[in-house]
Structure 1
């Protein structure tokens, strides 16, 4: 008899860990696994996209004023939600610290399931309560998984946790599907980027995404004659954490970089699941100067779409990227280095074509079917 698996996640919004959860669940089911997704959200709305596995939506509590209030109220709500169905599962696999803490409470109270946790990355929390909560969510599970060797080494060094690496996946066929020239022109015209070199970034404006360096780099690039206007489209922005002060600071710096919303930067927010791949094909290049990532799934999505990428040189990216072979890698948190790297894409069309051509091959190495098979081996 196959094990009954619950994959738990704190949100129904299109964040990286949530996307990972849904893709993994559907890939597990395609291999014959009995899998259900449990998430926090509005049961009347559900996930940001249709899901092909059974889903349980736990009603989310009211949005607290502080991050501490939100985290602990959501842990309490998730505890009640999982407790109500705990006997239906042999394995509860949590994708975040909120659902992991909730599941650990129920397991410790006598539930018979095994608790697995994937640590995608470690957040830089500033209050002791959240720091302690995150540490517990790393140490409490029966098995801990990570998606990169960097984080395997980091968890062992920082927390004494011996984690297992399971690769991330990408639905390459979803992002490889091209769009018509008319649709490409329509999307670009909608943000005034008809003739500009359009850079795309995904993840909103957040400290972890290196947004301040991207804005600074764009301003430097604009000031240098290249024979072509340059524009940036930003997709995403939903987050459990409150990045409003950071966002206001970054957007408040536009004047000093001679940039303006709509003229140089298009804030697209959360786009529909169907529209997201279209923006990869509407853009000319992908910029992703993150300062901290668990893996960087969106980079693989861009590569699957044949979009040349410019990234930071954080260690985890070196697990699947090679500088100037399949990506332009720039010094982390260095706006001048990033501007230079982005400028190379704008001015060197042969380089851009070469990077675009090798990207799909990199993405093809990381399938969700392969990832699901690795999970099944862990589940036993």
Structure 2
């Protein structure tokens, strides 16, 4: 099966945790890898962000990344990209034009911008459109962080159009499937729940060895004998790192504050990192906050293992890949009780779910867990087991079935004989 993946605003080759790169980058790349292991060929179309980028890169055997020029290479915010969709779509069609007819079997678009391009491409190529929302404007606007800007109407209308036109919609959780039907009126028969996976070979617990964590922490430059709470992700209001900084200032009296490590880069505004550091200074906890740039996946696994707790205080998450990767690494997760995090984190078993974003409540939850080593050890054991539910190979198998369902629906809509199953 030949699959055209479309990821307009962020490339799977970019470093997750910076700019617009995040869990979706990991999702697109890891799903593509798993599809290739099952015999598929994948080409990923993404916007070129540098004149030095080659037109196409063979990222791995079976996976090609195609860079499409659309607008200025640099300086475009994600909110500016709707004005470049026509140029991007033209570039995609031009790149495919030299291919034989019926080259692709399916188009899988990620995020609403890609869905708009995929809609046009599938009409031109007469193939089915499969779409993954990843986040939804209506859901996000209903749970905005204080001070955050709501998503614009152009996105809401764009999402509604893609939901109406896609042959299949992919949700990561049952909650996301419900959101698609309740917020966007999606036909439930076209919504397929396919949980993302986790690379459990890369994200695995620290081996049982004398001094293992101490050695790891020394290598990472972390202080010995101090509790460590880790936040990994883009530094933006949606992800809630400010909640953790404020929680430190609301820490229960008589208990030593942990070191809060923030791994990530600015997103949405280039001053986000400085603003977070300024907030720590205003709250009087600068000495308790360590901000470091985002790191590659293999290094991130080490940070997860070194932490006592991983905190995910997002205001909205369609799934929560960071939480799943942390659990696979054997580290309990304290997460906001929102979206897909309620599926990933088993409250009281592999971690704790915190209702709302009140800093004092977050402080109490974190402090109580850090003070109870036996409880954390039980959670750590349950964490690894719970993450085993999420497999990229299983996700790829389910996705191939979604592609076949989309092909059947597409053929039926045109009154032609259905395709032969090639999954």
> TM-score, with normalisation over the residues of structure 2?
0.79
Is the aligned partner of 1:307 residue 2:335?
no
CA distance in 2, matches of 1:64, 1:183: 41
1:80 alignment partner in structure 2: 91
How big is the shift at 1:371?
Answer: 0.6
Alignment of 1:122-271 (within 5 A): 122-123=136-137, 124=141, 125-162=150-187, 163-176=191-204, 178=206, 181=213, 184-189=216-221, 192-221=222-251, 224-226=253-255, 228-237=256-265, 239=267, 242-244=268-270, 249-260=275-286, 263-271=287-295
Is the aligned partner of 1:342 residue 2:366?
yes
1:89 alignment partner in structure 2: 104
1:58 alignment partner in structure 2: 67
Deviates more, 1:335-344 or 1:169-178: 169-178
Change (3 A) 1:351 1:177: closer
User: Does the CA-based 8 Å contact 1:201-1:233 persist in structure 2?
Assistant: yes
Change (3 A) 1:328 1:172: same
2:80 alignment partner in structure 1: 69
1:365 alignment partner in structure 2: 389
Is the aligned partner of 1:100 residue 2:126?
no
Is the aligned partner of 1:328 residue 2:347?
no
How big is the shift at 1:84?
Answer: 1.8
How big is the shift at 1:40?
Answer: 2.7
CA distance in 2, matches of 1:237, 1:178: 26
Change (3 A) 1:378 1:118: same
CA distance in 1, matches of 2:152, 2:171: 24
User: Does the CA-based 8 Å contact 1:331-1:338 persist in structure 2?
Assistant: no
How big is the shift at 1:45?
Answer: 7.6
- What secondary structure does 2:203 align onto? helix
Change (3 A) 1:33 1:278: same
How big is the shift at 1:169?
Answer: 0.9
How big is the shift at 1:334?
Answer: 1.6
The RMSD of aligned alpha carbons is 2.7
CA distance in 2, matches of 1:335, 1:269: 24
CA distance in 2, matches of 1:73, 1:166: 30
2:145 alignment partner in structure 1: none
CA distance in 1, matches of 2:81, 2:288: 35
The alignment covers a number of residue pairs equal to 369
> TM-score, with normalisation over the residues of structure 1?
0.88
Once the two structures are superposed, residues 79-137 of structure 1 have per-residue CA deviations (whole angstroms, 9 ceiling, x without a partner) of 413542265312010111222111212233x3222111011221345333233233323
Consecutive unaligned residues in structure 1, runs of 5 or more: none
CA distance in 1, matches of 2:402, 2:154: 31
CA distance in 2, matches of 1:92, 1:65: 25
User: Does the CA-based 8 Å contact 1:216-1:335 persist in structure 2?
Assistant: yes
